[in-house]
Structure 1
Amino acid sequence: MKHHAGLDVSVKETAVCIVDETGTVCREMKVPSHPEDLARVLKDPAWNFERIGLEAGPLSQWLFEGLAKAGLPLICIETRHTKAFLKAQVNKTDRNDARGIAQMMRVNLFRPVHVKTLTNQKRRALLTARKLLQEKAIAIENDIRGLLRNFGLKVGIVGTVKFEQRIHELVEGMPDLAEIVEPLLDARGKLRQHFATLHRKLLAIVRDDEVCRRLMTTPGVGPVVALAYTTTIDIPARFHNSKAVGPVLGLTPVLHQSGESRRVGRISLCGDDMMRTLLYEAAQVLLTRVTKWSWLKAWAMNVAKRRGRQRAIVALARRLAVIMHRMWSDGTRFRWTKESTPVAV
């Protein structure tokens, strides 16, 4: 008899539910959230597992890798779809969630999620840490601006390099205020220093990555966007069609249809928020700052005339995602004109 299992993971313990092919609960337990402990329980010869479900979450990549190495048929499932399925339960508990996931595995009613390779997981961690340092540094700069504004001191428009010098000029002759601002400037300087270190590491990775260099031939796409795209897509072959990248990144409109009513809403905003934001910024750069003309910019300008600039940027971000996937799959560089011959790399 075949068995199915559902894992509801928390930081300390994981609720495990094992059911047979008829849906009867065979065993329920709580196990420490560690691959070795889970593998020890699930590798019991009494169970003949066909599928084991694990909801995507903070620990899912680590647990998936460890359990997959143990030879278990583990499947990482999509969070929103799982939440909708489990909402039918009256009481939400770890035990009931594990039961629900096990039943989803049994009836084959789930959406699998791609688990990234270890290399791209590390690169993603680099991108996340870099972004965090940048955001914290900007937050401190804005707080300093607001603090000084209370005393009538306006920082004005100043670049990152000359920001500290400008603050020192404003608080000159006010030693009590300078004592308050100085620790903030020191913290901001340390954050900027570590941000620069991680950014140099990012540039070194992109410099040695042939796919990233190829993607950077696309106008508006820089090293950060290229590296984020490769870490998000991970394996281009997992998409049967380049156009499927848009919905995965949440850049396609949501359709609401019921009877005679049919309404197209805003973009779904599902998927990777960082990648979606970077593609939006790349589309803005292409539309407003890239001076070299291309068929892609001409297309976006036409969309802007018909639908407005905001929708044109979103549409351009979606098309950039599709084009970059096609370039990655075909091994070609960006074509500036539609009539040009693709250049193989």
Structure 2
Amino acid sequence: METSSIEGAPAPSVIGIDIGKEVFHLVGFCDGKVVFRRKIKRLALADTFKKLPPCVVGMEACLSAHFVSRTLRALGHDPRIIPAIYVKPFRKGQKNDYNDAEAIAEAATRPNLRTVRQKTQAELDLQAYHRIRSRLVSRRTATINQIRSFLIEQGIAVRAGARALRNSLFDILKNRQDEISPRMADLIVGLYEDWLWLDERIESITADIERVAQQEPNCRLLMSVPGVGPIISTAMVAAVGDGEAFERGRDFGAWLGLVPKQYSTGGRSILGRISKRGDKYLRMLFIQAARVLLMRPQTWERFSFGPWLEQAATRLHRNKLATALANKLARISWSVLQNRRAFDVHLQEMPAI
């Protein structure tokens, strides 16, 4: 029997890796039995797997999983990135690093298990742009809300909307000096400066994303879909590449969590609210795009799905309609990526996200 270089154990056919910040825990299987357990430093990853024969290597989808996957693939192994939700049922006993690695190895051997597609470095870079932009938008919203909260503590309420607050803020500080102390006024002005800085950073990141969208062929194809602009197109390419991980558009919609949650038994189908599984950020963008389209019913007839949308609008609540339209847009977008053909109607004079 062929042996591996790890403690003279038989050569494993599958290895599970529990990825940590500084150390990795490995569990190797051969003929369904555990043949070794080992803890290695992160920097020793390549040297350790160079000494092993090519095999299936499972790991959970987590930070640095794509880096580890690329490293192992370059060494001739078959890495498989597995969603954590699919690993949990295989864990036996209490939770620890070796039990997690063993569960990952067992999950990697399942023939019908869905794995995460390995991202390229360009896709990870594009994903980083979106994560930074999302964080900055969240911080800007928090800053605006904090300004509002400080004003309301002084008995001053401003109508909804960032523009209304921006236009009236300095008039409030000037005309209500008897109600707002100088110290509080200085704090609010400081928050407003933070707000301006966040605006500049968001505009800069958004401009970078738009440049990438114009240069990337798949993004240009996606922007032919109604409601899909640079933000959604780049986010989708960063998340799924060319969509090859899905067999059909329905699978992509289900992965986004835009389908009803199912709890069926005894031949009785029970459908609930949408499952909200998968990529939360991309799902939110598609729903925003759907809401933008719903705001302008006069343009529906320009789209090939216009008759469907007009009929659905008469029988569905507005929120359900937005979700259904988001699902349709997502499926159309997947089809555009998969077939490498632009949508049949090019969107003009229509806001896109």
TM-score by length of 1: 0.88
The letter of the residue matching 1:112 is T
The amino acid that maps onto 1:154 is A
Aligned letter for 1:41? Answer: T
Q: Does 1:330 align with 2:332?
A: no
Counterpart of 1:171 in structure 2 is 173
Partner residue, 1:14: 24
1:269 to 273, 276, 282: 276
SS at structure 2 position matched to 1:17: strand
Instruction: Give the aligned partner of residue 98 of structure 1.
Output: 101
CA contact (8 A) 1:5 1:51 kept: yes
110 and 236 in structure 1: CA distance in 2 versus 1, 3 angstrom threshold: closer
Gaps of 5+ in 2: 3-10, 347-353
Mapped partners of 2:315, 2:158: distance in 1: 40
What does residue 151 of structure 2 align with?
A: 148
**AA partner of residue 101 (structure 2):** A
Instruction: Report the Cα offset of residue 85 of structure 1.
Output: 2.3
The C-alpha deviation readout for 1:49-90, integer Å capped at 9, x for no partner, is: 43111111112112112222222221111211112222xx22
Specify every segment of 5 or more residues in structure 1 that has no aligned partner in the other structure, as ranges. 338-345
Change (3 A) 1:297 1:145: farther
Q: Is the 8 A contact 1:8 1:94 kept in 2?
A: yes
How many residue pairs end up in the alignment? 329
Question: Which of 211, 224, 230 pairs up with 1:223?
Answer: 230
CA deviation profile, 1:132-162 (whole Å, cap 9, x unmatched) = 11110111001100111111222324544x7
Q: CA deviation at 1:233?
A: 2.1
| Greater shift in the superposed pair: 288-297 or 135-144 | 288-297
- Cα deviation for residue 260 of structure 1 reads 4.2
Match for residue 289 of structure 1? 296
232-241 vs 4-13, which moves further? 232-241
- Please give the alpha-carbon distance, in whole angstroms, between the structure 1 residues aligned to 2:32 and 2:151: 69
Is 1:16–1:95's contact at 8 Å kept on the other side of the alignment?
yes
Q: Relative to 1, partners in 2 of residues 1:193 and 1:241: Cα closer, same or farther, differing over 3 Å?
A: same
Which one-letter code corresponds to 1:170 in the other structure?
I
In structure 1, the residue corresponding to 2:305 is in which secondary structure? helix
Deviation per residue, 1:164-201 (Å, 9 max, x gap): 45322212234232112122122222211111111111
CA distance in 1 between partners of 2:41 and 2:222 (Å): 43
RMSD of aligned residue pairs (Cα, Å): 2.2
TM-score normalised by the chain length of structure 2:
0.86
Q: Does 1:197 align with 2:199?
A: no
What amino acid is aligned across from residue 279 of structure 1 in structure 2? F
- DSSP-derived class of the 2:123 partner: helix
Change (3 A) 1:331 1:303: same
| 1:254 maps onto 2:261 in alignment | yes
Number of the residue aligned with 2:244: 237
Task: Give the Cα–Cα distance (whole angstroms) in 1 for the partners of residues 345 and 296 of structure 2.
Answer: 16
Residues 74-85 of structure 1 mapped to structure 2, 5 A cutoff: 74-85=79-90
2:141 and 2:110 map into 1 onto residues whose CA distance is 49
Whether contact under 8 Å (1:287, 1:297) holds in the other structure is no
AA in 1 matched with 2:329? L
1:219-259 deviation line (CA, Å, top 9, x unaligned): 22222112112222202333332332211212122222211
With over 3 angstroms needed to count, the CA separation of the structure-2 counterparts of 1:159 and 1:256, relative to structure 1, is closer
**Helix, strand or coil: the match of 2:226?**
coil
Task: Choose which of 48, 54, 63 in structure 1 pairs with 2:53.
Answer: 48
Following TM superposition, by how much is the alpha carbon of 1:108 offset from its aligned partner in structure 2, in angstroms? 4.7
Q: CA deviation at 1:332?
A: 2.9
